[in-house]
Amino acid sequence: MSLMNVFYCGEMGRCFRTGGELFLNRIYKGLSEKGYSIDGLSGQDLVRLKGDGGYFKKNLFLYKILCSVPPSATVVQNILNLDYLKYFLANVLIRYRRKDLKFLLIVQQIYYFNLNTVKRIVNKAVFFLYLRFFDKIVTTSQFLKKELMWQGAKEEKISVIGAACQEFRARKICRKEDRLSAKLLCVGHIRRIKGQVILVQALKYLKDLNWNLILVGDVSSEDIGYKEEVAKKIEELELAERVFWAGRLEDDELAKLYTESDIVVVPSLYEGYGIVVQEAMSFGAPVVASNVGGIPESLKDKKEGFLFEGGSPKSLAMILRRLITDPELRKQIGAQAWKRAFEFPTWDMVCQNFYQVITSIKRQKVKGLLITETFPPLVGGVETFLQSICTHSSMEIDVLTENTPGADKFDKIASFKIRRSNIKPCRGFIHIFLMEFSYVCKINMILFSLVVFHRCFMRQYG
């Protein structure tokens, strides 16, 4: 079986730290098992793209990389930030340069924090155009699908494939639900969008209760300042003896914490999907999460968990107080969450959904328009060349002659008369002109033959 090529505009094989990176890792692992050959940007390429250099220089560099992608491959891009603004020009150029490629976009989040009104308007306009470049768009939740449609994406292009949690699940719930104390757990990358500072602010209203909190999550260099802000807030509220940093944990260590925790808190300001919610529910842990993004799709409020107003410490504190002081309620909510978790998709199901999407993309077949007085063309240099294109090329060739209904008799370059023909242009349209053989047209015919050869044969056969 011949390998099908996928080129990912990102770094392959990295150690994933976030739910989004876990999602990508599982998707590409599933494609490899299906027989796809997957490649991505090298470490040196990423350093050059992220390093110093002007906008045009970086875009041209990425454009050259994409030009070298194997013929008929699928180019996959992923939105985890606003990089589509940085490399918008490269996407425009490659889309019209390589019509043999298929383009697929993975959207895991769309948010515009810290952008003023003007930047938001510009960003929306650019994003609208950016979405038009892709043959298919894959996302993880119905919330993101609605967001994409609001941004201008066509509904028929969007496929919701979901996401899954890790391959660990509690076989039964083993918690001491009779104690009037609670072990709180918050899992997520340490960054502002995850809302850890909201949780800390909520805990100042619960100093009279018996609880402790463990913060789990990695922190990148650009988020160190936010971690220091959270730590400072903990000190200001005199909670240092009750709040503990665990850092990044391995799967077995995280599974143990899920099992031992009484309440899992997800205070995010934004979540495209919320894998942590599903992980916690799979261990029968009561979840208190922000009512934002795709989180409400995973749990029913007051039945399988609790939703609070995103960004509101007081709203979060009220729900936590209720759960901490009512062990029986924690038990009931946890049991319902555990049952609900069996309805969540597995990674095998998610990968199969992605595979079906990527195989459903139909590459646009290049069409040609042959404009001539007679067809088949008479024997001769350019005529023979064009006849060979019609015979041996995989292009779809439409013929426009002087007898075609709606076409006037022509004595100039026929491109000016395409609008008067009954042949509808399409994307990937290539004009093949056969002009009357006057001495004036000799040079034009030679130059045009070279252009046709390049466009037809190089695009079809790489």
Percent of the chain scoring above 90 in pLDDT: 30
Please report which helix (H) or strand (E) contains residue 204, including its range.
Answer: none
Nearest Cα neighbor of 331 from 287, 265, 284 is: 284
Rounded distance, CA 151 to CA 109, Å? 13
Q: In whole numbers, what is the pLDDT of the chain averaged over residues?
A: 76
Question: Which of 334, 360, 386 lies at the terminal end of a domain, its last residue?
Answer: 360
Q: Let me know if residue 169 belongs to a domain.
A: no
Nearest Cα neighbor of 100 from 129, 125, 53, 67 is: 67
- pLDDT for position 372: 54
pLDDT confidence bin for 411, thresholds 50/70/90 = very low
- pLDDT for position 289: 96
Clarify whether residues 265 and 377 are in a common domain.
no
Q: Let me know if residue 415 belongs to a domain.
A: yes
Of 74 and 395, the one with more pLDDT: 74
Reply yes or no on whether the pLDDT at 440 is more than 90: no
The phi, psi pair for 40, rounded to 5°, reads -155, -175
- The answer to whether the beta carbons of residues 196 and 185 sit under 8 Å apart is no
- The answer to whether the beta carbons of residues 138 and 148 sit under 8 Å apart is no
Clarify whether residues 304 and 409 are in a common domain.
no
- pLDDT for position 181: 77
Sign of the CA dihedral 310, 315, 320, 322?
negative
Clarify whether residues 60 and 95 are in a common domain.
yes
- pLDDT for position 434: 40
pLDDT confidence bin for 401, thresholds 50/70/90 = low
Of 431 and 452, the one with more pLDDT: 452
- The answer to whether the beta carbons of residues 444 and 52 sit under 8 Å apart is no
94-103, 396-405, 436-445: lowest mean pLDDT where? 436-445
Percent of the chain scoring above 70 in pLDDT: 69
Q: Which region holds residue 217: left if phi is over 0, alpha if psi is between -120 and 50, else beta?
A: left
Q: What residues form DSSP beta bridges with 183?
A: 212
Q: Let me know if residue 318 belongs to a domain.
A: yes
Amino acid at 198: I
Question: Which of 331, 360, 389 lies at the terminal end of a domain, its last residue?
Answer: 360
Clarify whether residues 40 and 130 are in a common domain.
yes
Clarify whether residues 219 and 291 are in a common domain.
yes
DSSP string across 83-106? HHHHTHHHHHHHHHH-TT-EEEEE
Q: Let me know if residue 171 belongs to a domain.
A: no
168 three-class SS:
coil
Report the pLDDT averaged over residues 207-213. 93
The phi, psi pair for 187, rounded to 5°, reads -115, 125
Q: How many CB atoms lie within 10 A of CB 447?
A: 10
Report the pLDDT averaged over residues 49-66. 82
DSSP single-letter state for residue 70: P
**What is the span of the domain harbouring residue 386?**
367-461
- pLDDT for position 168: 62
pLDDT tens digits for range 229-250: 999 999 999 999 999 999 888 8
DSSP single-letter state for residue 456: I
Task: Verify cis geometry, omega within 30 degrees of 0, for the bond prior to 376.
Answer: yes
Q: Let me know if residue 177 belongs to a domain.
A: no
Question: Which of 330, 360, 390 lies at the terminal end of a domain, its last residue?
Answer: 360
Clarify whether residues 385 and 404 are in a common domain.
yes
pLDDT tens digits for range 354-387: 989 988 886 555 455 555 555 555 545 544 555 5
Q: Let me know if residue 170 belongs to a domain.
A: no
Taking the model in full, what pTM does it have?
0.74
The phi, psi pair for 218, rounded to 5°, reads -80, 160
Q: Let me know if residue 39 belongs to a domain.
A: yes
Q: Which region holds residue 250: left if phi is over 0, alpha if psi is between -120 and 50, else beta?
A: beta
Clarify whether residues 253 and 155 are in a common domain.
no
pLDDT tens digits for range 68-93: 888 888 888 886 544 666 778 888 88
- pLDDT for position 183: 93
Clarify whether residues 375 and 331 are in a common domain.
no
Clarify whether residues 207 and 90 are in a common domain.
no
Clarify whether residues 159 and 276 are in a common domain.
no
- The answer to whether the beta carbons of residues 370 and 397 sit under 8 Å apart is yes
pLDDT tens digits for range 107-160: 888 765 555 677 777 777 878 888 888 889 999 999 999 989 988 889 999 999
Q: How many CB atoms lie within 10 A of CB 331?
A: 17
pLDDT tens digits for range 286-332: 999 999 999 999 999 999 999 999 999 999 999 999 999 999 999 99
Clarify whether residues 317 and 200 are in a common domain.
yes
DSSP single-letter state for residue 455: I
Reply yes or no on whether the pLDDT at 459 is more than 50: no
Of 455 and 54, the one with more pLDDT: 54
Q: Let me know if residue 89 belongs to a domain.
A: yes
Reply yes or no on whether the pLDDT at 396 is more than 90: no
Q: How many structural domains does the chain have? A: 3
Residue that the structure tokens 């739910």 belong to: 19
- We report the CATH number of the domain holding residue 119 as 3.40.50.2000
- pLDDT for position 201: 96
How many angstroms separate the Cα of 441 from the Cα of each of 373, 377, 411, 451?
Answer: 15, 17, 11, 15
Rounded distance, CA 182 to CA 210, Å? 7
Clarify whether residues 324 and 413 are in a common domain.
no
On the CB side of 213, CA atoms within 13 Å amount to 24
